[in-house]
Amino acid sequence: MHHPKYALVSGTYAVALCKDVDGLYGDPVPPPRSVHELRGCEPRGELARAVTQAVVEGSAPLGTLHVRTPDGHTWLFEEARVLGARGDVVTVESSGPRRSYTGAAAHPCGNLVPVPPPEPPERTRTEVTFIGCSPRGGLRDALAAGEEEFAAVRYQALDHVGNTHHEAEAGHVTGWDTSAHHHGLLDLTVSFPRAGLIPHQSREVWDLWHRDRPAEPGTWRRFTGAARGEWLNQAARRPYGAPEITPDATYDLDGTDVVDEDSFLCALGEAVLGPGHGLGVGAPRAVGELLAGTTLVWRHADVARRCLGVQPWSDRRPATFQEFVDGLRDAGVRLVLD
């Protein structure tokens, strides 16, 4: 197939190449939040702080939480929020839990008790149709055998030369039919997670990057939120062609639209490497080390001073303006705030 835009993957093998898709782009539904009671817990550190705040304010953001149960297992709660506490019972809402194998420090708890039942499948999944597909491997064999369903697959979004620029869970292939618009090919229906739908702005980012990086300065300013983060992902996937960062060089950063961490990294990548490029790092210290020895003139820095690090957050706290300033200067960047 010439220039497929999508691939369906089972294990490490592509089982279909497809020309288009219907239903993938839309407003993603946040995954259902689970609520657990952490019984027999010993809150300390950040958990103790969040418990105190929740008692006063009704709830409190916590971020990432590791909990160890008496069976020796450690559980990871992501995007956690403490909803309340009574005695040695702490109620936590999160996008978990799942088993953790990181060895991170964990809070000992006697038991984890789920509170509400899980969301029914019809609330969490939808149908996505991959159009004009050429099946291969196990999927082709399943079709030939007349099977009614195929195992869960992942999907890949491909650029014009077939490289993967995005990959995520798709789901079980639940149906197939002769393609109405592509002779000799099939349309494949997948039971897709609603939380995995791609926002329309992110599709616009993909379309811009489909053949090569955008050459027009400031193109990233068209996008906001998750789409701006996707812009950074696409830039990071294409490090080739970037000029070398040299000590004693002077770079001019236009901070007019630096209102969050992603916009800072987009603007800085463009200032240092040119349109469509990214630094590939984001932590203040890492950014500083990359630019060590250079001079950075940060114009309209007052915008970032008011905005960076103050947005609401549920998981990782974004870096503040002062943390970026300190990270740059500590690494030896001559920083001029204008």
**How far is the C-alpha of 282 from the C-alpha of 290, rounded, in Å?**
10
**How far is the C-alpha of 96 from the C-alpha of 99, rounded, in Å?**
9
- pLDDT above 90 as % of the chain: 68
Least confident of 106-120, 127-141, 210-224, 259-273: 106-120
Residue with tokens 């995007």: 79
pLDDT digits (tens, 9 = 90+) for 195-205: 899 999 999 99
Which DSSP letter does residue 240 get?
Answer: T
The helix or strand, by DSSP H or E, that contains position 202, with its residue range, turns out to be: helix 200-209
What six digits make up the tokens of 337?
């705030």
Which DSSP letter does residue 96 get?
Answer: -
- pLDDT above 70 as % of the chain: 95
- pLDDT attached to residue 103: 72
Report cis status (omega within 30 of 0) of the bond before 312. no
User: 248 vs 282, 294, 333, CA distance in Å?
Assistant: 22, 5, 9
Question: Is the model's pLDDT at 286 over the cut of 90?
Answer: yes
Cβ neighbours for 88, distance < 8 A, ≥ 6 positions apart: 39, 40, 41, 42, 110
Question: Is the model's pLDDT at 316 over the cut of 70?
Answer: no
What six digits make up the tokens of 325?
């300033």
pTM of the full structure: 0.70
Least confident of 117-126, 168-177, 297-306: 117-126
Query: Can you tell me the mean pLDDT for 312-329?
Result: 82
Residue with tokens 């463009």: 270
How buried is residue 215: exposed, middle or buried, by Cβ count under 10 Å (0-12/13-18/19+)?
exposed
Domain boundaries, the chain: 6-29+128-198, 34-114, 202-337
Question: Is the model's pLDDT at 244 over the cut of 90?
Answer: yes
**Cβ atoms of 92 and 77 closer than 8 Å:** yes
What six digits make up the tokens of 69?
């149960």
Mean per-residue pLDDT of the chain: 90
